[in-house]
Structure 1
Amino acid sequence: VGSFKLTGKRVFRMAPLQHHFELKGWSEVLVVVRFWIIQGICVIVGLGLFYAGWAAEK
């Protein structure tokens, strides 16, 4: 809301976020697959941080 009031432009074309990408021309399958990839990367980073802290305690 603050960005829209300051600039007069929207950050995203539509909510929820996947509809923004669909309006940009991405297919629904492409959006889902890319979100899966991002989720997988976040899980790997989270597990890495968890196990790094766990290994440092031993």
Structure 2
Amino acid sequence: MKLKLLALAAIVLAPALLFGWPQPGEQAPSVYIADTAYVSHLIPDEYRGNVILLNFWQST
């Protein structure tokens, strides 16, 4: 059973792994991200030329 699930996962995830990421030298796609004040920012277009630090956390 585990082998079947592993094979299914490999078949489903293989195209995403092969075609999902930008190639070397290719620009990453833009993403909208909301800040703590719920204001949307377009990353990287609004911050081109600057260093961006994204901090992901979960509080419970």
Q: Shorter-chain TM-score: which interval? A: 0.3 to 0.5
TM-score (norm 1): 0.33
**Which structure carries more helix by proportion?**
1
